[in-house]
A and B are shown apart, each in its own frame.
Chain A
Amino acid sequence: MLSIKNLQAQVEDKQILKGLNLEIKAGEVHAIMGPNGSGKSTLSQVLAGNEAFEVTGGSVRYQDQDLLEMSTEDRAREGLFLAFQYPVEIPGVSNLQFLKTAINNIRQHRGEGEINAAEFMKLAKEKIKQVNLNPSFLKRGVNEGFSGGEKKRNEIMQMLMLEPKLAILDETDSGLDIDALRVVADGVNALRSPERAVIMVTHYQRLLDYIVPDYVHVLSQGRIIKSGGKELALELEEKGYGWLGIDEQAEA
């Protein structure tokens, strides 16, 4: 589904990704761990198409297409979804209007007609319940005045509405209490299927107790320096990044 080869990227002339390789097949859940400054968020943003990050080398194939040649919105329409670490607040644009516009853009891309209003409301109400947010949030501005946990849950809600093929969660677990973490995990687990893949970028091993990954990768200084199964996360938790020879101070 996703094939990243020797990916290099920079932001404001600072080289962040320095030759990253990663292969992801449909049905798999990958966790990417690493200390602050190792390039985790850069990877997420580059995959989603953030123009603030400049790709300086390497290639990314997504469902047999050149991902780097695709516009941000086309990536989303082709089923790529990024749950933001810091979702923006957009006062004046309601969650409902935002979700409906997004769904209709994706449907149009697939050659389908606009979603029926009643069907849409039913879906939105069902999904907002699933992430344990009050339905009144649907009428509020996108993330406007939401707490950190509410914003993360709103990201998961969007993911459930848009049903992506490849979901990238950028530190969605950071700063969450255990109840919110469960909501996030349940959302991701509900989406797991043989056709879909998930990339979880995380700083903490805790999330992996709730979403069991197929693979764990350790990112350091813009490269994946170790890959393994879920037991790698436990080992990291126990021994810390120093065990792999990573100097956390130097990364940040």
Chain B
Amino acid sequence: MTNMREVLPQAAAEPDLPPALQDFAKQRFEGLTGIARPSRKTEAWKYSAKRLNKLEGLQLAGNAGEENAPADLLLGNVQSHQLVLSNGHLPSSLPQIEGVSIKAFSALSEAEAQQVAKGLIATRDDLPFAEINHAGLGEGLYIEVAKNTQVELPIHLLLVHQGEGMSLPRIFVHLQTGSSVSLIESVCAVSASSEQSLCNQVSDFLIEDNAALTYYRVNDDHDQLPQVAATGAQLKRDARFFSHVLSLGCPLGRHDLQVQLLGSGAECDLNGVCVAQDRQHFDHHTCIEHIASHCNSNENYRCIADDKAQIVFNGRIHIHPDAQKTLGEMSNKNLLLSSEAEIDSKPELEIYADDVKCAHGTTIGQLNEKEVYYLKTRGIRKEQARQMLTLGFVLEIVRAAPIAELAERWEQRLSELLSFED
């Protein structure tokens, strides 16, 4: 049986890391031989394994500098504090934001380093590609928002992958009690290749009591970058996590989003929109673990597949025995625009508490011809009617993004993407 060591034959020596993280990386690197490479028989990877395994023998990509970052990142007129991570490497100067501490992993105290090693994704052992990120841990970005600090402008992390090879961006965000911040991650590529590049990212968020993180993950791939990402959020008492994921096309994309509701009164909303065309492939796996009582979770993913594209949605809600009075709702709606497109949807509920309200639903359908006809009877061209309906299918979710300028820019981009005009 083949193992994950083949993907990362050599450890990336990073002597500047604090001891806790050096140990962490070393252990995970040694553990790689014991982790099987995912195959079509690996349930959680069965739709993406074949394509991922084609990416053989990639070297770690070096720091290519910040200069070549593309301009249009679907941000519209959003003002932000921007940080460019080039192939996962940190910029030479980090922004100064009041109440926010932004550091490289190498500058962490031992206590902070231990916190990073205890992140949700850091402690998982069932995500083989995240394991590569752990084992190859080099530079990472650490952001800590001080107690009761409300950061006004969003922090924008621009993850640029340049050239061939594998990049391993690593992010850890710690929101102290009562703080709040919006974080935008956008992934983009310069001269990447669908056969020789891979962006393999891990982000862990620790949200303390009554703190709130609004998270945007945008991906509009013009340059054929395969990518795997795992995002984890741990929520303490009364903490909130609002996630807005926009995945627009990618030759091969996989996003694992995991949430643990650890303290009572915690709440999460996971919104997602995915559009795949041509031969693109996007695989979303989400998992919400209700561990404490009185927590709410709400998940809403809408996907559109056209041409020969494939989209996978696997959403899981796991309600632990102590999570009484849980409210959990999951909805995944899918639209197929072509007879050769494929969507695989799998909602999962696992419930071990008896006093909970939980619902999940999934639909896969085509454009409703009755709706197209109705619009045509009002003089609207067929192509335009189809565009309006397709866009309408995802718009509700796009508009749920609290930053209005961002939602507008996304809507504009989606309407270009979903145009049926020749």
Q: What is the minimal beta-carbon distance from B333 to any residue of chain A, in angstroms?
A: 10
Say yes or no for A48: interface residue by CB 8 A criterion: yes
Q: What is the minimal beta-carbon distance from B382 to any residue of chain A, in angstroms?
A: 7
Say yes or no for A160: interface residue by CB 8 A criterion: no
Q: What is the minimal beta-carbon distance from A112 to any residue of chain B, in angstroms?
A: 13
CA distance A97 to B373 in the complex (A): 17
Stretch at the interface among B150-158, B209-217, B389-397: B389-397
| CB neighbours of A77 from chain B (8 A) | 379
| CB neighbours of A50 from chain B (8 A) | 373
In the bound complex, do residue B395 and residue A92 qualify as a contact, i.e. CB atoms below 8 Å apart?
yes
Identify B379's interface contact among A90, A91, A93, A109, CB under 8 A: A109
Say yes or no for B388: interface residue by CB 8 A criterion: yes
In the bound complex, do residue B374 and residue A87 qualify as a contact, i.e. CB atoms below 8 Å apart?
yes
Nearest chain A residue, comparing its CB with the CB of B368: A88
| CB neighbours of B374 from chain A (8 A) | 84, 87-88, 90
- Of B370, B371, B376, B382, chain A has the most CB atoms within 10 Å of the CB of B376
| CB neighbours of B370 from chain A (8 A) | 88
Q: What is the minimal beta-carbon distance from B194 to any residue of chain A, in angstroms?
A: 32
CA distance A98 to B370 in the complex (A): 15
CA distance A73 to B388 in the complex (A): 15
Say yes or no for B380: interface residue by CB 8 A criterion: yes
Nearest chain A residue, comparing its CB with the CB of B302: A92
In the bound complex, do residue B392 and residue A92 qualify as a contact, i.e. CB atoms below 8 Å apart?
yes
Interface of chain A residues 41 through 59 with chain B (CB within 8 A): 48-51
Q: What is the minimal beta-carbon distance from A161 to any residue of chain B, in angstroms?
A: 9
CA distance A48 to B371 in the complex (A): 14
In the bound complex, do residue A101 and residue B395 qualify as a contact, i.e. CB atoms below 8 Å apart?
no
In the bound complex, do residue B396 and residue A92 qualify as a contact, i.e. CB atoms below 8 Å apart?
yes
Identify B380's interface contact among A73, A75, A81, A91, CB under 8 A: A73
Say yes or no for A105: interface residue by CB 8 A criterion: yes
In the bound complex, do residue A158 and residue B378 qualify as a contact, i.e. CB atoms below 8 Å apart?
yes
In the bound complex, do residue B392 and residue A162 qualify as a contact, i.e. CB atoms below 8 Å apart?
no
CA distance A92 to B380 in the complex (A): 16
In the bound complex, do residue A105 and residue B380 qualify as a contact, i.e. CB atoms below 8 Å apart?
yes
In the bound complex, do residue A162 and residue B379 qualify as a contact, i.e. CB atoms below 8 Å apart?
yes
- Of A49, A92, A98, A106, chain B has the most CB atoms within 10 Å of the CB of A92
CA distance A162 to B375 in the complex (A): 13
Q: What is the minimal beta-carbon distance from B273 to any residue of chain A, in angstroms?
A: 12
In the bound complex, do residue B396 and residue A73 qualify as a contact, i.e. CB atoms below 8 Å apart?
no
CA distance A76 to B377 in the complex (A): 6
Say yes or no for B384: interface residue by CB 8 A criterion: yes
The interface size of chain A toward B, counting residues with CB under 8 Å, comes to 29
In the bound complex, do residue A101 and residue B368 qualify as a contact, i.e. CB atoms below 8 Å apart?
no
Say yes or no for B357: interface residue by CB 8 A criterion: no
Secondary structure of the B contact surface, majority rule:
helix
The interface size of chain B toward A, counting residues with CB under 8 Å, comes to 22
Interface of chain A residues 103 through 142 with chain B (CB within 8 A): 105-106, 109, 141
Interface string of A60-88 (1 = CB under 8 A from B): 00000000000111011100011010011
| CB neighbours of B376 from chain A (8 A) | 49, 71-73, 76
Say yes or no for B381: interface residue by CB 8 A criterion: yes
Nearest chain A residue, comparing its CB with the CB of B370: A88
In the bound complex, do residue B388 and residue A93 qualify as a contact, i.e. CB atoms below 8 Å apart?
yes
In the bound complex, do residue B377 and residue A82 qualify as a contact, i.e. CB atoms below 8 Å apart?
yes
Given A49-B376, A88-B371, A88-B374, CB of A73 within 8 Å of CB of B382:
yes
CA distance A48 to B377 in the complex (A): 7
Say yes or no for A2: interface residue by CB 8 A criterion: no
CA distance A158 to B377 in the complex (A): 11
| CB neighbours of B368 from chain A (8 A) | 88
Given A50-B373, A51-B373, A98-B375, CB of A90 within 8 Å of CB of B380:
no
CA distance A68 to B384 in the complex (A): 22
Q: What is the minimal beta-carbon distance from B8 to any residue of chain A, in angstroms?
A: 44
Say yes or no for A102: interface residue by CB 8 A criterion: yes
In the bound complex, do residue A72 and residue B392 qualify as a contact, i.e. CB atoms below 8 Å apart?
no
Nearest chain B residue, comparing its CB with the CB of A77: B379
CA distance A50 to B389 in the complex (A): 18
| CB neighbours of B384 from chain A (8 A) | 101, 105
Nearest chain B residue, comparing its CB with the CB of A107: B379
10 contacts between A and B (CB under 8 A): A48-B377, A72-B373, A76-B379, A87-B374, A90-B392, A92-B391, A101-B388, A102-B375, A102-B379, A141-B392
A residues touching B (Cβ–Cβ < 8 Å)? 48-51, 71-73, 75-77, 81-82, 84, 87-88, 90-93, 97-98, 101-102, 105-106, 109, 141, 158, 162
Instruction: Contacts A49-B376, A72-B377 known; list 10 others, CB within 8 Å.
Output: A73-B377, A73-B382, A84-B377, A90-B374, A91-B396, A92-B391, A92-B392, A101-B388, A102-B378, A105-B379
